[in-house]
Amino acid sequence: MKKILIIGSKTTDDGETEQMGQYAAFFAGQLEDAQVSFVHFDELSFVISSDEYRIKDHRNGLSLDEYNLIIFRGKFVQIVNLHTVLAGFVYKKTLRF
């Protein structure tokens, strides 16, 4: 089964958890053999060192490199640096985004 992750917004943004859940449900309804999850920016943790480069999704308990596809959903305007780190990670790990 393919694992798809939607990343966007913060947990403190009004109505975003519900809206992110609706996005995940929509994609899950359109795809066969896929598990679609979502995570907010503030539910991610980063380990960046000379030995390790890992980003963990604490909502779903997985590292980002365990997903087959990552979808970025808006709300990056105020946190461009975070977007750059996330995009660099998925590019380095050769994940689709």
Is the pLDDT at 3 greater than 90? The verdict is yes
Which of 73, 72, 71, 67 has the alpha carbon at shortest distance from 93?
Answer: 67
> What average pLDDT does this structure show over 28-41?
94
DSSP code of 50?
S
pLDDT of residue 40: 92
Domain extents in the chain: 2-92
pTM (predicted TM-score)? 0.83
Q: Which one is the CATH code of 2-92: 3.30.1490, 1.20.144, 2.40.50, 3.40.50?
A: 3.40.50
pLDDT of residue 79: 74
> What average pLDDT does this structure show over 61-69?
93
Is the pLDDT at 97 greater than 60? The verdict is no
Q: How far apart are the first and last CA of the chain?
A: 18
